[in-house]
Chain A
Amino acid sequence: MKSIQSEIRNFVADNFLFGEDPESLQNDDSFLETGIIDSTGVLELVAFIEDQYDVQVDDDELVPENLDSINCLIDFIESKLKELA
């Protein structure tokens, strides 16, 4: 859990938070509402998840409920990993 969280935080900080303080991003902050992620950013996020955790993200899983904050991502990745286990 801790490692998934830090991996995601690092990825978001390196790829989307160019001029902002990474510490200011809360785990529940919506990427959409804060404008952190655009349409390309979603694709980058999905590619990262698939590469990093060796999971497949289906089309019907491409919804903000799964991807729109650090906490959403943690839950989503954990559920995907459980499916594989």
Chain B
Amino acid sequence: MCGIAGFIRTDRRPVEQSDLNNMIQTLNHRGPDASGTQISGPVGLAHSRLSIVDLAGGLQPMQTADGMLSVTFNGEIFNHIELRAQLQQKGYQFQTHSDTEVILLMYAEYGPECVQHFNGQWAFAIHDRRKQEVFLSRDRMGIRPLVYTQTAGRFCFASEVKALFALPDVERKVDHTALNQLFTFWSPLPPRTFFAGISELPPGHSMIVKEGNIRIWQYWSLDYSPNEENRSLDDWADELRSLLINATQLRLRADVSVGAYLSGGLDSSITAAIIRNYTNAPLNTFSVNFNDKDFDESRFQQEMITELGTDHQTVCCSYDDIGRIFPTVIQHTEKPVLRTAPAPMFLLSKLVRESQFKVVMTGEGADEVFGGYDLFKETKIRRFWSRQPESSIRPLLLKRLYPYMKNLQAQSPAYLKAFFNIREEELQSPFFSHLPRWDLTSKLKAFFSDDLKQQLKAQDPQAEFKQQLPPEFSDWPSFCQAQYLEAVNLMPGYILSSQGDRMAMGNSVEGRFPFLDYRVVEFASRVPVRFKMNGLNEKFLLKYALRDLIPDSIRRRPKQPYRAPDAHSFIDTASQQARFEYVNELLSPDRLQANGLFQPAAVQRLVRKMEQGRAIGTRDNMALVGILSTQLLVEQMIHGQTVTPEKQTTAPARILS
């Protein structure tokens, strides 16, 4: 994987080499193997390289033999071998074996429509000297990041915001509307980012910049309309199986070793099992587990390790590890987070990198594509219950959903009904599936400062989201509506970003996702709902299609979402104090007052409650992590301060072979 950056002067001033250098230096973690810049007329391109394909010949920015096209590219085009053959048949000559050159020549042949032919994950910019314009594109699912901004004299783009902030004319300011959206949906709605004036190119979109004007369009979108009801289960399963095997094989294309994450869950187990059974690649697997047994899945991981005979390594994660690494994690996420779950992923990618691997396969995306999340089941139960609102039995199904949530298990039927109470207007809402999550998250806004609350009073994040829904949304089954919301919001905005790209690239590791092969995604959108969720059996078709590769114990285990310890990572209830000085500093009344986003008195009450060990709920935990990560971001990215935890008091994460 790599980092890209660049800008186009719109004021006819010369491109500054030093600015290009400064931008690309900030992305060194994304591409430590090489870096390069190229200036042509008003356009400057920069690239930091993590060499994976054509180690000798893939240097960037790369240009065509005639010098008319140049590209800086982050990502992989997995079907580059097939596309190369097609282009050669058309008479194109290649200088390298890289997929970067395939992008250039595909663009030469098809123009902006070239992306329709790509199977991969990408963010790139092509300078087309013939047309005197720059074409930028981002992959369908939003695996690779691409942000941009416009100043008085230039249009600037990069993989990460920190590269834009390396430019003196880019203002550093929090976007309060984005903060409001993040404290509702967990992520700002694209194109917004956490920073005012900085936008992201949404997934599945391309753009052209010409003479200071921008044109953005969507080249791909999810569509759940073509529902093929008449095919048999076996027919669907056969197609899925061959698609997934091919998607996995394609993603093993690399000139370096490829590892795999193994969480103990179904999805990463399937990915690893396909590698073991359908490829000749050696299978090296990596996992994270926790000292806190509430979060630990090592029993299931061990089962798959034994089953597949993998060469396996584990990183064990303590509260202190999470708290210690958190400032670094937030520097990479570039947006606040409401849970600490990204931090262990950072430690995991560090282990991968230290084990001499640059590429790792993961099971990410299966839950969105095949309907695996508890949220989908919860939606089904709530709809089922709404048909008999007086029933005391139906809401009890909700307890079965969350066996790992002790607080919910302890509820009486009467309170369960009260908490999941469904109002008539909710049943009609396009957001029915997500309202419980969004309502809970929105409660955190109680901590916002009075000024911020006043400023946001007229805003309605849900109404803003509603405007982004496609016209055909209302025609889809409610299950598919929930899938869509998850796939366009939380997946690119948090799962693939804060927990995905940013945590892997923070250690110069590239993640690859067979379940997010666009052919798999489009296939899954056609599958009838009853085959995705059979009763309350989630990912039914996926389990059925790969049943011979996965042990029954993994296939039938209750779904447990990946989670990590939150408040305990920052506050030690035994000593009733913060584990790290930066936590005290950033949550101090003075610092909260100075940044102006949260009420100091409210935060102090929350911290006191945490210190006394009385904050055990999701809401309190999310509040602490959200406030602390926001403060970290402001400190590190707006004020440019370095935040480092003081010397730790316990041993660092250790590698267990």
A residues touching B (Cβ–Cβ < 8 Å)?
14-15, 17-20, 32, 35, 38-44, 59-60, 62-64, 68
The answer to whether A40 and B415 touch (CB under 8 A), given A19-B599, A20-B446, A35-B443, is: no
B638 at the interface (CB under 8 A from A): no
The answer to whether A62 and B411 touch (CB under 8 A), given A15-B609, A40-B618, is: yes
Chain B neighbourhood of A64, CB < 8 A: 414-415, 418
- How far is it, in angstroms, between the C-alpha of A43 and the C-alpha of B407 when the chains are bound? 7
Q: Looking at the assembled complex, report how far the CB atom of A56 sits from the nearest CB atom of chain B, in whole angstroms.
A: 15
Q: Looking at the assembled complex, report how far the CB atom of B387 sits from the nearest CB atom of chain A, in whole angstroms.
A: 22
Shortest Cβ distance from B402 into A: residue? A39
Question: How many A-B Cβ pairs are below 8 Å?
Answer: 66
- How far is it, in angstroms, between the C-alpha of A19 and the C-alpha of B601 when the chains are bound? 8
Decide: B415 and A18 in contact? CB cutoff 8 A.
no
| Binary A-proximity of B373-410 (CB < 8 A = 1, otherwise 0) | 00000000000000000000000000000000001101
Decide: B614 and A44 in contact? CB cutoff 8 A.
yes
B485 at the interface (CB under 8 A from A): no
Decide: A39 and B407 in contact? CB cutoff 8 A.
yes
Decide: A18 and B616 in contact? CB cutoff 8 A.
no
B515 at the interface (CB under 8 A from A): no
Shortest Cβ distance from B598 into A: residue? A19
Q: Which of B407, B410, B415 has the most CB of A within 10 A?
A: B415
| Binary A-proximity of B445-461 (CB < 8 A = 1, otherwise 0) | 11110000000000000
B602 at the interface (CB under 8 A from A): yes
Q: Looking at the assembled complex, report how far the CB atom of A48 sits from the nearest CB atom of chain B, in whole angstroms.
A: 9
Decide: B609 and A63 in contact? CB cutoff 8 A.
no
B419 at the interface (CB under 8 A from A): yes
The answer to whether A62 and B412 touch (CB under 8 A), given A18-B602, A40-B618, A44-B614, is: yes
Chain B neighbourhood of A68, CB < 8 A: 418
Q: Looking at the assembled complex, report how far the CB atom of A49 sits from the nearest CB atom of chain B, in whole angstroms.
A: 14
What's the dominant secondary structure at chain B's contact region?
helix
The answer to whether A19 and B448 touch (CB under 8 A), given A62-B412, A64-B414, is: yes
Chain A neighbourhood of B619, CB < 8 A: 38, 40
Chain B interface residue count: which class? 20 to 34
B439 at the interface (CB under 8 A from A): yes
Chain B neighbourhood of A39, CB < 8 A: 407-408, 411, 415, 419, 617
B606 at the interface (CB under 8 A from A): yes
Taking CB atoms and an 8 Å cut-off, the chain B residues in 556-611 that contact chain A are 599, 602-603, 605-606, 608-609
List 9 A-B pairs, Cβ < 8 Å.
A14-B609, A15-B614, A18-B602, A18-B623, A19-B446, A44-B616, A64-B414, A64-B418, A68-B418
- How far is it, in angstroms, between the C-alpha of A52 and the C-alpha of B399 when the chains are bound? 29
Decide: A62 and B448 in contact? CB cutoff 8 A.
no
Q: Looking at the assembled complex, report how far the CB atom of B423 sits from the nearest CB atom of chain A, in whole angstroms.
A: 11
- How far is it, in angstroms, between the C-alpha of A61 and the C-alpha of B616 when the chains are bound? 22
Instruction: From A19, A32, A40, give the contact of B617 (CB < 8 A).
Output: A40
Chain B neighbourhood of A17, CB < 8 A: 446
Chain A neighbourhood of B445, CB < 8 A: 19
20 new A-B contacts at CB < 8 Å, known A14-B609, A39-B617: A18-B602, A18-B605, A19-B445, A19-B447, A19-B448, A20-B446, A35-B439, A35-B443, A38-B440, A38-B619, A39-B407, A40-B618, A42-B411, A43-B410, A43-B616, A44-B614, A44-B616, A44-B617, A64-B414, A64-B415
Chain B neighbourhood of A41, CB < 8 A: 617
| Binary A-proximity of B332-369 (CB < 8 A = 1, otherwise 0) | 00000000000000000000000000000000000000
Shortest Cβ distance from B621 into A: residue? A40
Shortest Cβ distance from A68 into B: residue? B418
Shortest Cβ distance from A35 into B: residue? B443
Shortest Cβ distance from B419 into A: residue? A39
Q: Looking at the assembled complex, report how far the CB atom of B593 sits from the nearest CB atom of chain A, in whole angstroms.
A: 15
- How far is it, in angstroms, between the C-alpha of A42 and the C-alpha of B440 when the chains are bound? 15
- How far is it, in angstroms, between the C-alpha of A18 and the C-alpha of B609 when the chains are bound? 10
- How far is it, in angstroms, between the C-alpha of A43 and the C-alpha of B411 when the chains are bound? 8
- How far is it, in angstroms, between the C-alpha of A32 and the C-alpha of B620 when the chains are bound? 17
- How far is it, in angstroms, between the C-alpha of A20 and the C-alpha of B602 when the chains are bound? 8
Chain A neighbourhood of B623, CB < 8 A: 18
Chain A neighbourhood of B418, CB < 8 A: 32, 64, 68
Taking CB atoms and an 8 Å cut-off, the chain B residues in 190-216 that contact chain A are none
Decide: A19 and B618 in contact? CB cutoff 8 A.
no
Chain B neighbourhood of A60, CB < 8 A: 412
- How far is it, in angstroms, between the C-alpha of A39 and the C-alpha of B439 when the chains are bound? 14
Chain A neighbourhood of B620, CB < 8 A: 40
Q: Which of B408, B414, B440 has the most CB of A within 10 A?
A: B414
Instruction: From B407, B439, B603, give the contact of A40 (CB < 8 A).
Output: B407
Decide: B617 and A38 in contact? CB cutoff 8 A.
yes
Shortest Cβ distance from A47 into B: residue? B614
| Binary A-proximity of B275-295 (CB < 8 A = 1, otherwise 0) | 000000000000000000000
Instruction: From B412, B606, B618, give the contact of A38 (CB < 8 A).
Output: B618
| Binary A-proximity of B406-435 (CB < 8 A = 1, otherwise 0) | 011011101100110100000000000000
Chain A neighbourhood of B448, CB < 8 A: 19
Q: Looking at the assembled complex, report how far the CB atom of B500 sits from the nearest CB atom of chain A, in whole angstroms.
A: 29
Shortest Cβ distance from A63 into B: residue? B414
Q: Which of A19, A60, A64 has the most CB of B within 10 A?
A: A19
